[in-house]
Amino acid sequence: MEQVMQITLVCVVTALLAAAVRRGAPEAALLLGLAAAVAALLALSGSLRELMGFFSELTARAGVSNDLFVPLYKTVGIALVVKVGTGLCKDAGAAALASAVEIAGAVCALLVALPLLEKAMNVLLELMG
C-alpha cells in the first residue's frame, strides 16, 4: 500500500510541475513526465521481482517446463513499455509516433509468441499423427 501511495504522489506532483513549466518550456514538461515514469517503474522493481518469483515457483511445482510461460512474460514486458511510450508520445502531441510505437509493440509481441505457437503446433501434430 505504501508503495502505491508513494508512486501516486510522485506522479501527481510531477504532473503539476510539468503543467507549470509547460508554458515556458514544453520540452521540459515532457522530460519531467519521462523522468517520473522511469522512476516509478524502477521503484516497482522489487514487487515485480516478487511476482515473477511466485510465477516461476508455480510452474516448477506444477512440473511444467518454463518455456511455455516465458513468451507470456515477455509479452507482458513489451506491453508495459509500449503503453508508457505511447502515452509519452501523445503527451508531446505526436500521435503518429504513438501509433508507430504501438505497431512495433504488436509485431514484437507476435514475434516473441512464435516459439509458443510452434510448440502448440508440434504437440497437436503429435497427438493427431
Q: In this structure, are residues 96 and 66 in contact, taking their beta carbons and an 8 Å threshold?
A: no
Instruction: Output the smallest distance, CB 123 to another protein, in A.
Output: 6
Cell digits of residue 89? 508520445
Long-range contacts of residues 100-103, Cβ cutoff 8 Å, at least 24 apart: none
Residues at the site binding another protein, with contacts judged by CB under 8 A: 6-7, 10, 14, 17-18, 20-21, 23-25, 27-29, 31-32, 34-36, 38-39, 41-43, 45, 48-49, 51-52, 54-55, 58-59, 61-64, 68-83, 106, 109-110, 113, 116-117, 119-120, 123-124, 127-128
How far apart CA 38 and CA 20 sit, in angstroms, is: 20
Residue closer to another protein by CB (options 5, 96) is 5
Residue closer to another protein by CB (options 77, 95) is 77
Residue closer to another protein by CB (options 69, 100) is 69
Q: In this structure, are residues 85 and 103 in contact, taking their beta carbons and an 8 Å threshold?
A: no
Residue partners of 89: CB distance under 8 A and separation at least 6: 95, 97, 98, 101
Instruction: Output the smallest distance, CB 91 to another protein, in A.
Output: 14
